[in-house]
Structure formats: C-alpha cells, structure tokens
Amino acid sequence: MKSMTGYGKATCELPDKKVTIEVKSVNSKQLDLNIKLPAMFRDKETEVRSLISKQLERGKIDCYINLEQTHTAGNFSLNKEQAARYHEEIKQLSAELALPMPEDILPLLVRMPDVVKTPVEELNDDEWAVIYKDVEKAVQLMDEFRLNEGNVLKNDMAQRVSLIQQGIQRIEPFEKDRILQIRQRIQTNIAAAIAPDKIDNNRLEQELIYFLEKMDFTEEKVRLQKHCTYFLETMKEDVSNGRKMGFITQEIGREINTLGSKANDSNIQKIVIEMKDELEKIREQLLNVL
C-alpha cells in the first residue's frame, strides 16, 4: 500500500551543466500532473509525462527540472559589424542634433539589438539519456517514499479496524440483557395501556417474537466482521487499493449504523459511537492512500 504524499530528488552533473530533478505529490482523486522544464527540454515533456503517469498513477504531482549552466565562458559572440554600424548611426545623429557623443559609448553599443549573440543550445541525445536516468531515479525515490508512508498508514488503519472488531466482541455481553429489557418494557407498557383480561397472550407472544427478530442484529455483526476482514486482506495485496478500501468502509459504516439504530441500549450505543469514531479516522487516512 502506498501513500499519495511523496518526494524525490536527483541531480545530474554534465560537463557544462547541472540538472536538478524534483518530484513531489499530495493527495488527489485523479492524476493532476504539472511539469516545468527548461526551454531546451520542451520536446521531452511528453516522455517525462508518460513516465510519471505510468509509475505514480494518481495524485497532485509537481515535477520540476532545473538547468544550471556551469561553464559560461565563450558562450556568446559579438557582432562587431553590427556594433560599428550602430556607432556610425549614433555619430551622425549626434552631429545632426548638435549633441555631444557619449563619453563611454561601449556599454550602450553592447546593449543594442543583435550585438551580443548567445547561441541557442540544443540538447543532444546522449545528454538526455543521462538526464532521463536521473528523472527515473527521482520518480523511483518518490515511489519509495510513498511506500514507506503507505506502511505507516497501513499499520494505523489496521489498529483501528482491530478496535472495531473488538467492539463487536464487547457488544455481546449486553445482548442477552438487552432483549430481556426490551421484552419487559413492551409488556409493561401494554399492561399499563390495556386491561389484562383483554390481552390475547398468544397474539402478544407472536408480536413480541416478530418485533424482537427485527431488533436482532446478529446478521449485521457477522457482515461487519466479514467487511473488516476483507478490508485487512485488501491492505495486504501487492497493489495499492485506496478506492477499493473506500468502498469497503462504506459497507462497514452501513453495518455500524444499523447496529446503532437497533441497539436500544446505552452501553451498546456507546460502543457503536466508539466504532464510528475509529471508522471516521480510517476514512481520513484513506484520503491519502493511492
């Protein structure tokens, strides 16, 4: 089981550049992928997107690839002819306007368009092959981070499911007294409302049996136990099943709610509330499970 929260980082050292890859994610219902690349890597975005989508599956994922030039000397050229033309034009303009020439004209010329040229660098296949391996490394590190976080979530949820299962056992001592109390309460209320000689005891007994059968929650307890077992089994599967476990918690919640509605006993109601509290904490954790 994996968490959707994760972080991975890798650094690639090339002869004239340093590339840093960072991948991080938080929980999301779908895959929400944001990739930021240097201009020279733009044509590789589809390749990076495919890798991340396949490996990380789901979550709000940000991938940043940063480029730092480590050797800049000689990485530009001067267009001297263009600079000379600018200089001549400035001299003519100065004479026409009767204005003195600037004392230090060189900085002005260097800033003029097309005087300083920086070559457009292209990424060759050999460099990209090296960088791509480090992208894979960053994604793998993030996947491992997710797995470690997932183990923490797994242990926490397993403990909470165990507490729900213990709640099922804790209900049992109150069940026998609960049925007797319900029966006595009904008989007392009927006796207070109807004269004893007008009560059909056979019919009353039939109605009591029917009512008590409706109040019985043995089936709910059995189903709840099965759902809890299924949840624990699903957590142990090799693939991450966040959505599937979410559906199972819906069934667990349904059985717990039915137990509460049929309880008619303060002790059982207290246990049911505790079970609901544990289930709600499981649901919160599941929001971050892949």
Task: Report, in angstroms and rounded to the nearest whole number, the Rg of the chain calculated over CA atoms.
Answer: 37
**pLDDT, position 256:** 93
pLDDT in tens, the chain (290 residues): 899 999 999 998 888 788 999 999 999 888 999 999 888 888 889 999 999 999 888 899 999 999 887 765 556 677 888 888 888 888 888 888 888 887 788 888 888 887 776 655 667 788 889 999 999 999 999 999 999 999 999 999 999 999 999 999 998 888 777 766 666 666 666 666 666 666 666 766 666 665 656 667 788 899 999 999 999 999 988 887 889 999 999 999 999 998 888 877 788 889 999 999 999 999 999 999 98
Does an H or E element contain 34, and which? strand 31-36
**Distance (Å, rounded) from C-alpha 132 to C-alpha 244?**
33
Angle at alpha carbon of residue 36, lines to 31 and 38, rounded to 5° = 150
In one-letter notation, the amino acid at residue 71 is: H
**Distance (Å, rounded) from C-alpha 16 to C-alpha 19?**
10
**Distance (Å, rounded) from C-alpha 9 to C-alpha 141?**
7
CB 254, CB 231: distance < 8 Å:
no
**pLDDT, position 227:** 95
**pLDDT, position 187:** 61
Residue of 55, 212, 219, 235 lying closest to 135 (CA atoms): 55
**pLDDT, position 26:** 92
**pLDDT, position 273:** 94
Residue by residue, what is the 3-state secondary structure of 129-140? HHHHHHHHHHHH
Q: What are phi and psi of 98, to 5 degrees?
A: 55, 40
**Distance (Å, rounded) from C-alpha 138 to C-alpha 188?**
72
Instruction: Tell me the two tokens of residue 213.
Output: 């059968």
Which domains are seen in the chain, by residue range? Answer: 6-72+123-147 (3.30.230), 77-117 (no CATH), 150-286 (no CATH)
**pLDDT, position 76:** 65
pTM for the full model? 0.69
